[in-house]
């Protein structure tokens, strides 16, 4: 008697549909090369080496005099803050009448390998902020730092508190000892001296490895399965390709800066203990006395909330707020949730504390 294999017809139909979607995908989705990630117009108002200061064109009349300077992270590029017109961090704030400048760190090459915190904070950041103060006729600016940009912003504000009116830290990397992520686990066992001596800058391939082991099955399998399942949904596909393009494009990190960041923040944990020195000056978090907003995400698998939250308790600001959101590292800045919840609260907090 021949054995019979029974397959649920619904299962077969589902399988055929998925295959059809895979075949049709090239006709329905753009390639990464065909996507332009820049959605909101800006002007490059200042540049120094590879670093550019972008000034976004206002979309409505200015409601707030104090300009906002955003220090983006050192990993990937700033486009995530303006990834899609409907999910753009920048566009949302422009629509609230906030004047926005953004520091784009550019693409460092070997010539930048000796640049460290001193060059980034006392050089690039300070020059950019001085430029904004001069151009906007404001003594002080509001400063927002995202991820590693949050670390740089914290160090900057500790050194130049007189130039900062409000400080906003979004998933900042602060207390490496408390960080429970895979990134931190790898960072703690890295021979960073040898890496920098041999390779110069931290290469993008190694950065990409670290990201690829974060949720490898969800991000490496399910995500793509869902993409093919939703291939007929134009908005979904557009957003997917935009985020993928952003994820795969990460610049190298200058060797000296990477070395200091891994050692000072993850291995020796100097920043939170007020023992970090930049340009010969000690970074005391007590110097941060202006209003502070700390934003953390419960599901952040790149910078765990325990790593960011200690800044709230370490500063001497009396006006300080901590917001904890049920989302992830990217979800906090580029998602529908961010537009509905994170940004309205951010804009309100900032507007209330800025010069009109």
Judged by CB under 8 A, does residue 195 bind other proteins?
Answer: yes
Judged by CB under 8 A, does residue 47 bind other proteins?
Answer: no
Active site residues per annotation: 147
Judged by CB under 8 A, does residue 139 bind other proteins?
Answer: no
Stretch that binds other proteins, among 90-98, 112-120, 160-168, 288-296 (CB under 8 A): 112-120
Judged by CB under 8 A, does residue 24 bind other proteins?
Answer: no
Judged by CB under 8 A, does residue 191 bind other proteins?
Answer: yes
What token pair was written down for 135?
């151009």
Q: With H, G, I as helix, E, B as strand and everything else as coil, classify residue 164.
A: strand
Within 8 A by CB and 6+ apart from 331, the residues are 297, 299, 325, 337, 338
Contact 128, 103 (CB under 8 A): yes
Cβ of 229: how many Cβ atoms within 10 Å?
Answer: 14
Figure out which of the listed residues 4, 5, 27, 217 binds other proteins, where binding follows CB under 8 A.
Answer: 217
State in angstroms the smallest separation of the CB of 63 from other proteins.
Answer: 33
Beta strand spans in the chain (E)? 42-48, 51-56, 68-71, 100-104, 141-146, 164-170, 277-278, 281-282, 292-297, 320-325
Stretch that binds other proteins, among 150-158, 208-216, 284-292, 327-335 (CB under 8 A): 208-216
Figure out which of the listed residues 17, 20, 65, 114 binds other proteins, where binding follows CB under 8 A.
Answer: 114
Q: With H, G, I as helix, E, B as strand and everything else as coil, classify residue 324.
A: strand
Size of the site for other proteins (CB under 8 A): 32
Figure out which of the listed residues 133, 177, 178, 188 binds other proteins, where binding follows CB under 8 A.
Answer: 188
* DSSP letters for 276-317: -EETTEE--GGG--S-EEEEEETT-SSS-HHHHTHHHHHS--
Instruction: Give contact residues for other proteins (rule: CB under 8 A).
Output: 8, 10-11, 14, 110-111, 113-115, 119, 123, 180, 182, 185-186, 188-191, 194-195, 198-200, 206, 213, 215-218, 221-222
């Amino acid at each position: 008697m021949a054995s019979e294999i029974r397959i649920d017809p619904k299962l077969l139909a589902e399988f055929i549909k998925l295959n059809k979607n895979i075949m049709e995908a090239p006709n329905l989705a753009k390639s990464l090369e065909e996507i332009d990630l820049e959605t909101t117009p800006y002007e490059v108002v200042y540049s120094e080496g590879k670093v550019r200061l972008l000034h976004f064109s206002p979309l409505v009349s200015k409601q707030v005099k104090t300009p906002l300077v955003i220090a983006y992270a050192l990993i990937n590029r700033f486009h995530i803050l303006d990834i899609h017109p409907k999910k753009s961090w920048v566009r949302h704030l422009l629509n609230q009448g906030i004047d926005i400048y953004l520091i784009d760190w550019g693409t460092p090459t070997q010539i930048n390998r000796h640049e460290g915190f001193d060059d980034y904070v006392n050089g690039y950041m300070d020059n950019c902020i001085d430029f904004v103060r001069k151009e906007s006729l404001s003594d002080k600016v509001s400063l927002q730092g995202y991820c590693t940009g949050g670390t740089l912003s914290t160090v900057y504000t500790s050194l130049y508190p007189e130039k900062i009116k409000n400080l906003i830290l979004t998933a900042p990397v602060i207390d490496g000892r408390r960080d429970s992520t895979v990134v931190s686990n790898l960072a703690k066992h890295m021979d960073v001296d040898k890496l920098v001596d041999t390779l110069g800058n931290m290469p993008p391939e190694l950065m990409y490895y670290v990201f690829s082991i974060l949720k490898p099955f969800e991000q490496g399998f399910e995500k793509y399965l869902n993409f093919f399942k939703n291939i007929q949904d134009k908005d979904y596909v557009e957003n997917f390709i935009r985020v993928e393009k952003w994820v795969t494009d990460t610049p190298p990190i200058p060797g000296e800066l990477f070395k200091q960041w891994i050692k000072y923040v993850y291995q020796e944990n100097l920043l939170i203990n007020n023992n970090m020195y930049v340009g010969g000056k000690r970074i005391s978090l007590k110097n941060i006395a202006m209003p502070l907003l700390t934003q953390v995400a419960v599901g952040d698998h790149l910078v765990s909330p325990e790593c960011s939250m200690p800044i709230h308790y370490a500063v001497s600001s009396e006006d300080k707020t901590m917001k904890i959101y049920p989302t992830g590292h990217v979800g906090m800045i580029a998602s529908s949730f961010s537009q509905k919840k994170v940004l309205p609260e951010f804009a309100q907090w900032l507007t209330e504390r800025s010069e009109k």
